[in-house]
Amino acid sequence: MSRRISPVIPGFGLTLGYTLLYLSLIVLIPLATMFIFAASLTWAQFWAIISTPRVLAALKLSFGTALFAAVINGLIGLLLAWVLVRYRFPGRRLIEAMIDLPFALPTAVAGIALTALYAPNGWVGQLATSLGFKIAYTPLGITLALTFVTLPFVVRTLQPVLADIPREVEEAAACLGAKPFQVFRHVLAPALLPAWLTGFALAFARGVGEYGSVIFIAGNMPMKTEILPLLIMAKLDQFDYPGATSIGVLMLVVSFILLLLVNLLQRRVETP
């Protein structure tokens, strides 16, 4: 008679219960509270808050710069992941640590450092000013800050997938006469695309909600360089809790819709 081996982790029912309890306490209940508070407003009041030119300008800036930063990191992150996985060279471990630095570094420290470097009186900022454009206190500076803090998401998502792709597959395609671009398009890209979309979605989501690294380099000028998280903080400082909650709900809904679309696209790509 075979002896039944007890699982290391409890069964489905118990683990699902713990998961839902933890998720409810940490995520669902706080978000539901925000929606309940916003529901105390009439639709006309809610629409009047979120349709003001200042809110729309901040919405466009936050999502536009986050999207652009995620695209940049999608390209640069793929290149970095390829170099770190495919090659061995002196200083590789140092580059690995530098990529993880935005995870450990307080975002406010990153914002101060970037502002000191790219401000009009900074090393790079002076050169940019002499060429006739500004980096700090512009949407370009915000994009730069978001690119800094979201780079690890793309690199760390792509690295394991690249490591699992045997080099023999690429060599076989090359032996059959495929050119380098054809090898990438027909062999590597299908395997990398789902992971790339995941890294892109994570970078985009982090960029939309980023606050600490942006407030210093943005300049925080309403209608120009004011991001949504900063506008929410401004509403809270003015004790305008309905306004802050309404903007938060708008930000949450738009972010959820965009992430849902990315996830649906990822699932469609993964389906053979």
What is the tens place of the pLDDT at every residue in 123-181?
Answer: 898 998 888 889 999 999 999 999 999 999 999 999 998 888 887 787 787 787 878 77
Share of the chain above pLDDT 70, in %: 94
Residues 6+ apart with CB under 8 A from 252: 31, 34
| The two structure tokens encoding residue 87 | 């090659």
What is the tens place of the pLDDT at every residue in 55-76?
Answer: 999 999 999 999 999 999 999 9
Residue 19 confidence (pLDDT) above 90: no
* Number of other CB atoms surrounding residue 11 within 10 Å: 9
Domain residues for the domain of 137 are: 53-270
Ramachandran assignment for 87, one of left (phi > 0), alpha (psi -120 to 50 degrees), beta (any other): beta
**Contact criterion met (CB below 8 Å) for 10 and 19:** no
* Number of other CB atoms surrounding residue 83 within 10 Å: 12
Mean pLDDT calculated for residue range 201-223 = 88
Residue 170 has a pLDDT of 76
- Helix axes 241-270 and 228-237, enclosed angle (nearest 10): 160
Residue 206 confidence (pLDDT) above 80: yes
18 belongs to a structural domain: no
169 belongs to a structural domain: yes
Ramachandran assignment for 39, one of left (phi > 0), alpha (psi -120 to 50 degrees), beta (any other): alpha
Taking alpha carbons only, the member of 203, 265, 160 closest to residue 74 is 203
Residue 47 confidence (pLDDT) above 80: yes
Confidence grade of residue 4 (pLDDT, cut at 50, 70, 90)? low
State the average pLDDT for the chain: 86
CA distances to 105, 168, 182, 183 from 177, in Å: 47, 14, 9, 10
CA dihedral sign, ordered 233, 146, 133, 131: positive
What is the tens place of the pLDDT at every residue in 237-263?
Answer: 888 888 999 999 998 888 888 888 887
Residues 6+ apart with CB under 8 A from 197: 262, 265, 266, 269
Residue 56 has a pLDDT of 93
Q: Is 235 exposed, middle or buried (0-12, 13-18, 19+ CB in 10 A)?
A: buried
110 belongs to a structural domain: yes
Number of domains in the chain: 1
Mean pLDDT calculated for residue range 92-116 = 87
67 belongs to a structural domain: yes
Confidence grade of residue 184 (pLDDT, cut at 50, 70, 90)? confident
44 belongs to a structural domain: no
CATH of the domain at 109: 1.10.3720.10
Residue 271 has a pLDDT of 66
Residue 264 confidence (pLDDT) above 60: yes
11 belongs to a structural domain: no
Residue type at position 74: G
The b/e string for 20-35 (b: 16+ C-beta within 10 A; e otherwise) is eeeeeeeeeeeeeebe
Lowest mean pLDDT among 22-26, 176-180, 196-200, 213-217: 176-180
Residue 22 has a pLDDT of 87
Cα distance between residue 39 and residue 24, in whole Å: 20
158 belongs to a structural domain: yes
What is the tens place of the pLDDT at every residue in 7-18?
Answer: 566 667 788 888
36 belongs to a structural domain: no
Residue 70 has a pLDDT of 94
